[in-house]
Amino acid sequence: MVALEDPESFTGFEAVLFDCDGTLADTHPAHYLALAATLAPFGLEIGREWYEGYTGTSTPETIKAALDGQGVRSDGELIGRLVAECGERYLDHLAAVTEITPVTALARQLTGRLPLAVASGGTRRTVEATLRHLGLDGLFTRVVTRDEVERGKPAPDVFLLAARQLGVEPAACVVLEDADSGLLAARRAGMAVVDVRGRSAAR
């Protein structure tokens, strides 16, 4: 059994992959404020409950869902512009971002013992800013984001690319995640998963 409180339980793996938002960092307040401000010029109001339903979904997919749900026509150019704007607004709210300490403590304990990577559905700019803000940026061998893959979670692409960059087979990786879409993505990648919400593990 793999447990967050026991770093020794991870020694059977060759690499550990961490989601960022909701796993390493509580970024929900900052992302919500950024998205709400980005969508406001369209006359769209999103509630916290709606936003929580998209936990773990990449920013482009979340913005598209918000626009589609309100009947606003969108294309790749508009989505790209709004993603960039949302990312800039997020940086204005970094003070609201805090560590999820059971997970960050584990990452610090495992650094130097196993290859570690961040595999996130966020953009590289926002993920790297989050890691720097929390002083976590030196812990990870690789950082892989939604920018570098064709499909976001729940597709397995981001996890498979992280494993490839680490030179580790997917079956030898364990993923720490907080969202259903991320857990599904990890399983589709053929990796073991730890749901940090319940701190339980499954292969």
Tell me how far apart the alpha carbons of residues 19 and 139 are, in angstroms, rounded to a whole number: 14
Tell me how far apart the alpha carbons of residues 178 and 26 are, in angstroms, rounded to a whole number: 11
Tell me how far apart the alpha carbons of residues 47 and 154 are, in angstroms, rounded to a whole number: 23
Dig out the tokens for 102 from the structure.
Answer: 């059971």
Cα–Cα distances in Å, from 108 out to 78, 86, 91?
39, 30, 24
Q: Nearest 5°: phi and psi at 3?
A: -135, 140
Tell me how far apart the alpha carbons of residues 57 and 21 are, in angstroms, rounded to a whole number: 10
SS3 16: strand
* Active-site position among 6, 19, 68, 92: 19
Residue 199 near residue 102, CB atoms below 8 Å: yes
Q: Is 19 a catalytic residue?
A: yes
Task: List residues with catalytic annotation.
Answer: 19
